[in-house]
């Protein structure tokens, strides 16, 4: 069975554009074929600013939204975070979602798709990598940047160019290598910490 990939829409704000490039990448991942690909919308979980009384490393969740988020993250073998750039950094929704959990992230490879204006979300994707690495994920160096993203959106769809597709393929090719290599470590964590 192919490893499970979650492509996560990181922005939760009203009027966001994130679902459009995320849908493109998700469909590209499905066609690529290395993963069992799933599109996950962070806004579906309704995570408030971290409100758990216990540190995430204790794995003792008290809130239903945390338990739902934990179960989703625990299912995945790898992630691609599709993120905008807010004031030279990632959206607070993404950092908050990462901070909610600890064990569920470990030993999973993570790719990034950044979108925005002229920088294509590059500063956002660079800024979030230390957090990803601290949670014992492997941030893949290959990153997809989508500069001036609105110019490639027509009738609600992202119209990828050759450069975008080459970047997505390179990310997925590297992501599957790390996902397979980290599988024994993920198995150890899952054995010890079942999702609540």
DSSP bridge pairs for 39: 7
The model's pLDDT over 101-145, given as tens digits with 9 standing for 90+, comes to 999 999 999 999 999 999 999 999 999 999 999 999 999 999 999
**CB neighbour list of residue 33: distance below 8 Å, 6 or more residues apart:** 2
Range of 49's domain? 4-192
- In three-state form (DSSP H/G/I as H, E/B as E, the rest C), the secondary structure along 45-109 is HCCCCCCCCCCHHHCCCCCHHHHHHHHHHHHCCEEEEEEECECCECCHHHHHHHHCCCHHHCCCE
**Structural domains in the chain (count):** 1
Contact between residue 100 and residue 57 where contact means Cβ atoms under 8 Å apart: no
137, 145, 191 from 130: Cα distances, Å? 10, 18, 26
Q: Which one, of 11, 9, 12, lies nearest residue 26 by Cα?
A: 9
- DSSP letter, residue 115: E
Q: What is the mean pLDDT of residues 170-185?
A: 98
Say yes or no to pLDDT of 187 above 50.
yes
Q: Which one, of 77, 48, 79, lies nearest residue 64 by Cα?
A: 48
Proportion of the chain in helix, strand, coil states, percent, rounded to 5: 45, 20, 35
Q: In this structure, what CATH number is given to the domain that contains residue 155? A: 3.40.50.360
pLDDT-derived band at 192, boundaries 50, 70, 90: confident
The model's pLDDT over 33-78, given as tens digits with 9 standing for 90+, comes to 999 999 999 999 999 999 999 999 999 999 999 999 999 999 999 9
Say yes or no to pLDDT of 196 above 50.
no
pLDDT at 194: 57
Q: What spatial distance separates the first Cα and last Cα of the chain, rounded to whole Å?
A: 24
Q: What is the mean pLDDT of residues 188-195?
A: 76
- DSSP letter, residue 63: S
Q: What is the mean pLDDT of residues 72-91?
A: 97
Q: Helix or strand or coil: residue 195?
A: coil
Q: What is the pTM of this model?
A: 0.96
Say yes or no to pLDDT of 195 above 80.
no
């Amino acid at each position: 069975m192919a490893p499970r990939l979650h492509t996560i829409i990181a922005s939760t704000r009203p009027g966001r554009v994130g679902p459009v490039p995320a849908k493109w990448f998700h469909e590209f991942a499905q066609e690529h074929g290395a993963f069992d690909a799933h599109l996950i919308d962070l806004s579906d979980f309704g995570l408030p600013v971290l409100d758990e009384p216990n540190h995430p490393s204790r794995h003792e969740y008290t809130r239903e939204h945390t338990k739902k988020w934990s179960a989703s993250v625990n299912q995945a073998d790898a992630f691609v975070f599709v993120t905008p750039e807010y004031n030279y950094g990632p959206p607070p929704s993404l950092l908050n979602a990462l901070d909610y959990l600890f064990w569920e992230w470990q030993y999973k490879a993570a790719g990034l798709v950044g979108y925005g204006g002229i920088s294509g979300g590059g500063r956002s994707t660079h800024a979030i990598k230390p957090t990803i690495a601290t949670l014992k994920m492997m941030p893949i160096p290959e990153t997809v940047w989508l500069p001036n993203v609105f110019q490639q959106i027509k009738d609600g769809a992202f119209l990828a160019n050759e450069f975008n597709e080459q970047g997505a393929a390179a990310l997925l090719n590297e992501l599957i290598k790390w996902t397979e290599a980290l599988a024994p470590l993920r198995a150890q964590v899952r054995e010890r910490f079942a999702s609540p």
